[in-house]
Every structure is written in C-alpha cells, then in structure tokens.
Amino acid sequence: MKVSQARVSPEIIKRIEQPGRARRGQDPPEFESTMPKKQPRTAQLARRIQGATGLPYTQCLKICEPSESSWGRLARALRAAGLIEAADQLLAVDAVTTEASAWFSAGGEVEQLFYSSDHERVQRTYSACSDAAEAALSRAGFHTHSYAPDAEAYHAAFLALSKAGTLSDGRTLARAALDVFADDPMWCSDVVRSKGRSPFTYDTAAGLTGPGTPTAVAARKAARAMARAAVVPRSGDEEWHEAAGIMIEVVWHAGEAAGVPPLEGRRNCQDHLRNFMHS
C-alpha cells in the first residue's frame, strides 16, 4: 500500500503536512550520523525511520518531534475534568497514530527528494514506511483501513461534551471536543457510525441533565446529536448524508458550548449546510 493510497484521517494529515519539506528535484541534505540528545522514545523512532529511509537523522528527528494535537488537547481537558481513564485511553491512541503519521510523513519526504531522480527508491521506501505504519496500528489492535482510531477520539469528545453538559461553565471541555471534529461532514458521518476496539454506547446522552446555562444546554444538545448520528444505518448515500447533516448539528452546538460562533472557520460544514437547505 502506498502512502498516497492509504485512508488517512484529517488529524494525521495535519501532522504530515509540515512546513520545511524539501521540494521535488531539490538535492537531498547530506547524511548525518550525530544523534542529538532527545527523549529516548522519539530518538528510537527517528533511528528506525532513518534506517528505513536513509534520511538524515536530524530530519527524521524533526519528523518525530512531538507536538500537541487536538486529541492531546482533548485528553488534557478530560484529565483536568477528572475523566482520567478516558484521557489515558485517548493519549494511547494519539501515540499510535502519531507514530503511524511519522512513517507516512517520512515516505513523503523521500518522495519529495527523489521523485525525479530515483523512482525505485521512492517505491521501495513507500512500501517500507507503509508497512511500518500498518504495523504500528496493528500492534495497537487497529486495522489499517478502519475508522477505529478516529471513532475512539469521537467517543472521548462525546464524554467531554456530556461532562460539559453537567457544568455551569464547561467551555474548555466543549472547545477541546469541538477541535476533534474535522471540517468534513461526510468524514464525520463515517467516523461517528464506526466502532472502536472496545464496546461504546452513546445511549447515555438521553439521560443527560445539568444546569440551564447556555454552555451546558448547548453541550447536552451536541452530545444528544452525536447519539442520533451514531445510530443512522450504514445502508446507502441517503443515510450517509443524513448522518453528515446531524454531525453539522453537533459541530454547531459544540461551538455554542465552547463560546465561539457556530461553524466559524468551517467552510465545508457551511457549504454542506447551505446545499442541504437549498436542496
């Protein structure tokens, strides 16, 4: 499987699209063997990527440098709210997808450097990087082409919105949950109706109660909308669009709960809603 053919979530794509990539046809930097002092885990992954790609170590290290993703921010918010188990589970998923995205990104780096000069190397490295990314996901119990990692992030977002619905001011939780949802209603439709590795139910949304503050009310509306979207059957395009429309409701209410203008900065959600209203 080539990197370009893999089903990669918007969260992973954000991590792959980093500034400073070499352009096609650009001369590759000289090989570097010095290992700067870094966190052992990051350094180990960088060395593995270097061995598979032949890229300079410092370049591999840059690919592997940790940065807080939307999933990481959500985990931090969950932990602060006392949802420790949910936070730990999400961080574990985040670590796995971060490793997979590093391998995908490394394959992309080699493509940029050698696309015109060494097609065989590009193909060989693509294969090695894709295999390594698949192995990382597989070790954690994820299938390569499943939505399961993102589904588990959505489970965490649902828990955050549910908790925010019980608080007078749960804007921090709501904002962290909001950032997990991609500006892609159709993708969200697929993810919310997918399963993670362990059983999970959105049924608790029906019994949510809490303060009458705008934040709490909006958070409960978002959680209940997620529950509605999750049970839309996977039987065809009509249902696909139905769940996508409900997920726009989720994003809308989550934005209200977070204290930001509904659908702000989400052009695809806005377009989808506009097209739906005029259809």
- pLDDT the model gives residue 275: 86
CB-based contact 44:86 (threshold 8 Å): no
Nearest to 112 by CA among 25, 13, 19, 16: 25
Neighbours of 132 (CB within 10 A): 22
- pLDDT the model gives residue 176: 98
- pLDDT the model gives residue 67: 85
Q: Average of pLDDT values for 61-81? A: 95
Render pLDDT for 240-258 as a digit per residue (tens, 0 to 9).
Answer: 999 999 999 999 999 999 9
72-81, 142-151, 225-234, 269-278: range with lowest mean pLDDT:
269-278
Residues of the chain above pLDDT 90, percent: 79
Q: Which residues, including other chains, have CB under 8 Å from residue 193's CB and lie 6 or more apart?
A: 229, 230, 231, 232, 234, 243
Nearest to 24 by CA among 124, 103, 116: 116
Q: Average of pLDDT values for 87-105? A: 96
- pLDDT the model gives residue 3: 34
Task: Give the residue ranges of DSSP H helices in the chain.
Answer: 10-16, 40-53, 57-64, 70-80, 84-114, 119-139, 148-164, 171-178, 185-192, 214-230, 237-258, 267-277
Q: Which of 3-17, 24-38, 254-268 has the highest mean pLDDT?
A: 254-268
Render pLDDT for 213-243 as a digit per residue (tens, 0 to 9).
Answer: 999 999 999 999 999 999 999 999 999 999 9
Render pLDDT for 157-167 as a digit per residue (tens, 0 to 9).
Answer: 999 999 999 99
Render pLDDT for 17-33 as a digit per residue (tens, 0 to 9).
Answer: 543 444 334 444 443 44
Average pLDDT score, the chain: 88
Q: Is the pLDDT of residue 4 over 60?
A: no
CA dist., res. 115 & res. 167, Å (int)? 53
Q: Is the pLDDT of residue 35 over 90?
A: no
CB-based contact 181:157 (threshold 8 Å): yes
pLDDT band at 278 (very low <50, low <70, confident <90, very high): low
Render pLDDT for 193-216 as a digit per residue (tens, 0 to 9).
Answer: 999 999 999 999 999 999 999 999
- pLDDT the model gives residue 7: 52
